[in-house]
A = this chain, B = another copy of it.
Amino acid sequence: MSVYDKLTALGISLLPVTPSAAMFVPFVRTGNVIFVSGHIARQDGQPWVGQLGADISTAQGQRAARGIAIELLGALHTATSDLNTITRIVKLLVLVNSAPTFTEPHLVANGASELLNEVFGVHGPHARSAIGVAQLPLGACVEIELIAEVA
C-alpha cells in the first residue's frame, strides 16, 4: 500500500511547501539522508501558541505534534517527489514548550511518532528524543525536526 494511499485513508492532505522568505530552507539532502528543519505547530495556518503544563494539555500537544508530522510529510514529499522512496524515518527531535513542572514531552511526541509509524509501516520506526524547552519560535507549543533516509 503506497504512502499516499495511507494518507488518503487517514483523510490527510499534504499542504504545498511554500517557499520560505526565511534565511534557511525546509530541508537539505546529503547522500541518502534528508535533514528536515524544525517545524512549529500550527492551527488554522497560524502558530499554535501555548505551553504544556500551563495552557495546553497533553492531548492538545499530541494533536499539535500530529499536525507537525503532516507538515514534515509535506516537506519530505517536496524533497523526494515520492514519499514511497523513503526507506526509513531515522530520528525525531521533539521540542515541547514546557512549564517547569511538565514531565510528559514523550507523550506529546507520540502524536507525531504514531502517525509516522502508521503512514510508513515497516519504514516508520525511528529513534527519538523528546525534551521540554523554555520557549519556541513565535511562542509555538511544539517544534519537531526530522531525519529520514531515502533509497
Taking a contact as CB atoms under 8 Å apart, the answer to whether B88 and A129 are in contact is: no
Of B35, B90, B131, B145, the residue contacting A28 (CB under 8 A) is B90
Taking a contact as CB atoms under 8 Å apart, the answer to whether A36 and B138 are in contact is: no
Nearest CB in chain B: distance from A90 CB, A:
5
Q: How far is the CA of A22 from the CA of B129 in the complex (A)?
A: 12
| Given contacts A105-B137, A129-B93, A31 and B31 within 8 Å (CB-CB) | yes
Taking a contact as CB atoms under 8 Å apart, the answer to whether B103 and A135 are in contact is: yes
| Given contacts A32-B31, A35-B147, A127-B28, A23 and B135 within 8 Å (CB-CB) | no
Interface residue count for A (Cβ, 8 Å)? Answer: 56
Taking a contact as CB atoms under 8 Å apart, the answer to whether B37 and A127 are in contact is: yes
Taking a contact as CB atoms under 8 Å apart, the answer to whether A102 and B135 are in contact is: yes
Of B22, B127, B143, the residue contacting A131 (CB under 8 A) is B143
Taking a contact as CB atoms under 8 Å apart, the answer to whether A95 and B135 are in contact is: no
Q: How far is the CA of A138 from the CA of B98 in the complex (A)?
A: 13
Chain B residues positioned under 8 Å from A90 (CB to CB):
28, 30, 35
Of B25, B100, B127, the residue contacting A27 (CB under 8 A) is B127
* Additional A-B contact list (20), CB under 8 Å, known A95-B129, A133-B133: A23-B113, A24-B113, A28-B88, A28-B127, A30-B90, A35-B90, A35-B91, A35-B127, A37-B91, A37-B128, A38-B130, A95-B131, A99-B135, A103-B137, A127-B145, A129-B145, A130-B137, A131-B143, A132-B135, A132-B136
